[in-house]
Amino acid sequence: MDIAGYIRVSTEQQKEEGSHENQRDSLQAWADENGHSITFYEDIAISGQADEREAYDRMMDEADQYDAVVIRELSRAGRDLQKLLKDIDALDERGVDFISLKEDMIDTTTADGQLFLQIVGAFNEYWANLARERAHEMVERRREQGKPIGRPKKLSDEEIEQVLEWNKMGLGYSSIATLAEDTFGKSLHRSTVRRYVKDAERAEA
């Protein structure tokens, strides 16, 4: 299999102390043992809570090139659990497995890993249903205020805020695009949703 290996250390000191090399050695040994080809993505001196991680974001964009994403332990992928679960679900939608060497059950190539993914899916379904309820309330509010609900040429500021709210609730880009079309009557591509999210993150930085 072709594998994307992700490595992150929070400080330059951790790199100097060998944390970076230890992660790389562990992932390389696992890949060699299983006969996989591995490509590394490395974020150095980047906090797990950082909104933008260049290597991680690039890996997610290029994930379709790989059969699986592997990390040494879950904390290396980030400290925001909701975002991490959303990313794992997004990888699964694209046919890419997610493997954590330290946490055995987080391996979507196994039965336990698939169970974990189903639990993630149940939470995502809950958030999606909640988002639909809020979207319906927004449509009714717009109707009561006499505002148009048809097909706008572009999203209004209020609609973009709703897209960002759905993202904060844990919905994936594809799910948001579908929900936006149902709610606003506007066809959106997942890349457009991602652009709205990234623009908002940069504005808040």
Asked if residue 123 lies in contact with residue 83, where contact means CB atoms within 8 angstroms, the answer is: no
Reported as a pLDDT band with limits 50, 70 and 90, residue 191 is confident
> Residues 7-26: pLDDT tens digits?
988 765 455 556 788 899 99
Beta-bridge partners for 100: 71
3-state SS of 124-169 is HHHHHHHHHHHHHHHHHHHHHCCCCCCCCCCCCHHHHHHHHHHHHC
Edge-first strand order for the sheet with 97-100 is 37-44, 2-9, 68-71, 97-100
> Residues 43-70: pLDDT tens digits?
887 765 566 788 999 999 999 999 999 9
What is the distance between the alpha carbons of residues 33 and 130, in angstroms, rounded to a whole number?
44
Spell out the domain ranges in the chain: 2-109, 114-204
The architecture CATH gives domain 2-109: 3-Layer(aba) Sandwich (3.40)
What is the distance between the alpha carbons of residues 41 and 83, in angstroms, rounded to a whole number?
19
Q: Is it the case that residue 153 has pLDDT exceeding 50?
A: no
What's at 160, amino acid-wise?
I
> Residues 94-119: pLDDT tens digits?
899 998 888 766 677 777 777 776 77
